[in-house]
Chain A
Amino acid sequence: GQQVMQIPQYQHVQEGEDFTTYCNSSTTLSNIQWYKQRPGGHPVFLIQLVKSGEVKKQKRLTFQFGEAKKNSSLHITATQTTDVGTYFCAGPRYNFNKFYFGSGTKLNVKP
């Protein structure tokens, strides 16, 4: 069945260092969404990518969607302590009603 894998599972960085998490799907995705979950909180939508090769930026965050629409990445430049949390990617099943969430990458930023 369709699976969405995410690596790494954990990442510890010093404040100011960069961070990247990768998302890989076993099947082509129509689109991909990214969510952030702060410790003790619930997932909050960050962005959606739809087009092959699409790149979107939100301040220090850069999101990419692969050419084959099977992988995606989130890169954070110069991390801050406010970036702490778990980042999930999510892609819909072919008929759109079931979302597959990646296992998440937990980011810890040391001040």
Chain B
Amino acid sequence: GAGVSQSPSNKVTEKGKDVELRCDPISGHTALYWYRQSLGQGLEFLIYFQGNSAPDKSGLPSDRFSAERTGGSVSTLTIQRTQQEDSAVYLCASSLGSSGSYEQYFGPGTRLTVT
């Protein structure tokens, strides 16, 4: 079946502009994660959604970052007033459940470049 998809694959934006990144998880997956990966670095947790529960936003680096998940499926990550340090690959992952025992399926990521 289809895996996790993300769009756009690449986004170049000017400093100060807002951007929206989209994630389509695998159908039936109730848990959805957003991560940020800077060049050559590890994965930085941003936010987690599980079903209809309140999201865990503890990883969001500033109030310029927000995310929502509509209907328990598609998610969008919004970055307002982008800064150059926001440049990174943003990865979305989904899993069958909220327990840490489920493997995460990652999308191809969105490469964001802020000029």
User: Does A78 make an interface contact (CB < 8 A)?
Assistant: no
Task: Give me the interface of A with B, judged by CB distance under 8 Å.
Answer: 6, 30-31, 33, 35, 41-45, 48, 50, 88, 90-93, 96-104, 106
Check A48–B91 contact: CB distance below 8 A.
Answer: no
User: Does B1 make an interface contact (CB < 8 A)?
Assistant: no
Asked, given contacts A98-B45, A102-B42, whether A30 binds B100 with beta carbons under 8 Å apart, the answer is: yes
Check A101–B45 contact: CB distance below 8 A.
Answer: yes
Task: Give me the interface of B with A, judged by CB distance under 8 Å.
Answer: 31, 33, 35, 40-43, 45, 48, 50, 56, 58-59, 91, 93, 98-101, 103-109
Check B42–A101 contact: CB distance below 8 A.
Answer: yes
Cβ contacts under 8 Å, B100 to chain A: 30-31, 91-93, 96-97, 99
Q: How far, in Å, is A8 (CB) from chain B's closest CB?
A: 14
Q: Which of A35, A42, A99 has the most CB of B within 10 A?
A: A42
Cβ contacts under 8 Å, A103 to chain B: 41-42
Chain A residue at minimum C-beta to C-beta distance from B45: A98
Cβ contacts under 8 Å, A42 to chain B: 91, 106-109
- 18 A-B pairs within 8 Å (CB atoms) are namely A6-B42, A30-B100, A41-B108, A42-B106, A42-B107, A43-B43, A43-B106, A92-B99, A93-B100, A96-B98, A96-B99, A97-B50, A98-B58, A101-B42, A102-B42, A103-B41, A104-B41, A106-B40
In addition to A41-B108, A91-B100, A99-B45, 7 A-B residue pairs with Cβ atoms within 8 Å of each other are A42-B106, A43-B104, A88-B43, A92-B100, A97-B31, A98-B58, A106-B40
